[in-house]
Amino acid sequence: MPDLRELPRSLAPLDDESLPGYLLRLSSRLHVPVADAAVRTGLVDRTGATSTVFLPIRLVHRIDDDALDKFARTTRLTAVEAGSLLASPLGDRYGPLNGDLMSRGNPVSLVRNNRWFFGRWTRYCPHCLAGDGSVIQQQLGGPWKRHWRLPTVFACLRHRTLLHNTCPQCGKAALTDATNFLPRAAAEPMHPTLCRAPTGNRYGLTPHSPSCKADLTTAACREIDADTLSTVLALQTRLLDLHNPDGPTAISSVGWQQTVAQYFLDLRAVTWLILLSWPETQRYAPTAALAEAVARTAENARIAAQGQRDRPGKRHPSVAYTDPPIDPLSAAAVFGIAEQLLATDYNATFAIFNPLISQARRTEPTMTHLQKPHHASPPLRLTLNHHRHDLWKKGRARLLRKHPELTPMPPSRPVTTSAGR
Ligand SMILES: [Zn+2]
Ligand SMILES: [Zn+2]
């Protein structure tokens, strides 16, 4: 790698800005392709005879110390500022990104097949992207936020709106690529708020297909009724409080005290259960619009699972149910029900979960994901894996002896109050 020099012009990171978002703004400011900005800041090297630049998605999560040092030096950021662009700190609270819970500290296996962070979707708030009116944001737009990568972030509280997940013009994910963390990396620089999805259908695409270039800040608000919107925003407030580093430290999950990171893994496991057993939990949906959103997601998962069963070779029908809901309204709807199920008192857990599990097993008999240790806390796993009440009660007594650190507790929302945002 050639000697890296400080860039002639740099940028201070914006609040909650992600590495892809920062690179988009840097590319635009320097008038160079994103790939050039990544090479000039030491993130990646040019490889092969064609000098292709590959932007591996693992960099969005973590950068090794040497590369982070080069990046900070060339961009004239402090180490803290450079590190704040990465997603790895979010794993302290978000279980699917937590190295201890997911991969025993192995960052490679954390990234591989981790569709609850590294899946192919793009969420954004058009108003946040339009910027806050400051000179720099008028020029280059607002931040592409790190938190928009989390499936559990589906609304913008500042602008009281659902996030978007498609471009208003082409209907595709605006910032998603099959191999790189940013699409069209070698293309001419583009304003950071424009859609980078390639035009044309998937069979006609080449690395040089033009980008859509629609202005994402013009995306119109999604029409939803007032009750649904206030329900969604209240849920988003509670979930963001759990994502907040200063938020609650522990929370009840099926009546047992858990860390917040573990709670998000339990929320994920219950999401699968809701989709597999739908419409068993329909009564928990507070509005018709939210019930319809779950129904749509469950039906899409059923069709995708059938598609898996019908294809030749190795089949993974259960995967259709284990991807996070991409559509922001569907995500809010499913997580809202999951939150209620996890708030169950531990004495009532068996009665509430048992019918759901029976229905889920009828829907997808190959469903084994829910039994794996890192997919749910021990108390939730106990409930998911015992069909008979007497065996469940015995298992619970064993759990109390084996895990004295797990305290059964009455159903509640956060255990400690937030220190404020
Ligand atoms: Zn916003
Ligand atoms: Zn587009």
pLDDT digits (tens, 9 = 90+) for 193-203: 999 998 876 55
How many angstroms separate the alpha carbon of residue 228 from the centre of ligand 2?
28
Do residues 207 and 260 both lie within one domain?
Answer: no
Q: How many helices and strands (H and E) does the chain possess?
A: 17, 6
Give the count of domains, the chain: 2
Strand 52-53 to strand 161-162: parallel, antiparallel, or no bridges (unpaired)?
unpaired
Question: How much is the pLDDT for 104?
Answer: 67
Helix (H) or strand (E) holding 198: none
Do residues 201 and 235 both lie within one domain?
Answer: no
Whether 6 is in a domain gets the answer no
Query: What are 75-82's contacts with CB under 8 Å, separation 24+?
Result: 75/7, 75/10, 75/11, 75/26, 75/41, 76/6, 76/7, 76/10, 77/10, 77/12, 77/13, 81/12, 81/13
Question: How much is the pLDDT for 120?
Answer: 87
Range of the domain at 129: 19-185+192-218
Question: How much is the pLDDT for 419?
Answer: 40
How many angstroms separate the alpha carbon of residue 154 from the centre of ligand 2?
20
Torsion sign, CA atoms 312, 314, 315, 319:
negative
Whether 11 is in a domain gets the answer no
Distance CA 82, CA 103 (A): 24
Do residues 64 and 213 both lie within one domain?
Answer: yes
Do residues 173 and 242 both lie within one domain?
Answer: no
Do residues 211 and 234 both lie within one domain?
Answer: no
Q: What are phi and psi of 345, to 5 degrees?
A: -65, 145
Question: Could you tell me the two tokens for 248?
Answer: 């609650």
Do residues 378 and 239 both lie within one domain?
Answer: yes
Whether 9 is in a domain gets the answer no
Whether 68 is in a domain gets the answer yes
Whether 133 is in a domain gets the answer yes
**Whole-number CA gyration radius for the chain:** 22
Ligand lying closest to the C-alpha of residue 216: 2
| Whole-structure pTM value | 0.92
Do residues 280 and 378 both lie within one domain?
Answer: yes
Whether 179 is in a domain gets the answer yes
Whether 420 is in a domain gets the answer no
Question: How much is the pLDDT for 421?
Answer: 34
Do residues 28 and 174 both lie within one domain?
Answer: yes
How many angstroms separate the alpha carbon of residue 159 from the centre of ligand 1?
5
Ligand lying closest to the C-alpha of residue 145: 1
Mark the ranges of the chain whose per-residue pLDDT is less than 70: 1-3, 48-50, 104-105, 201-208, 366-373, 410-421
Whether 13 is in a domain gets the answer no
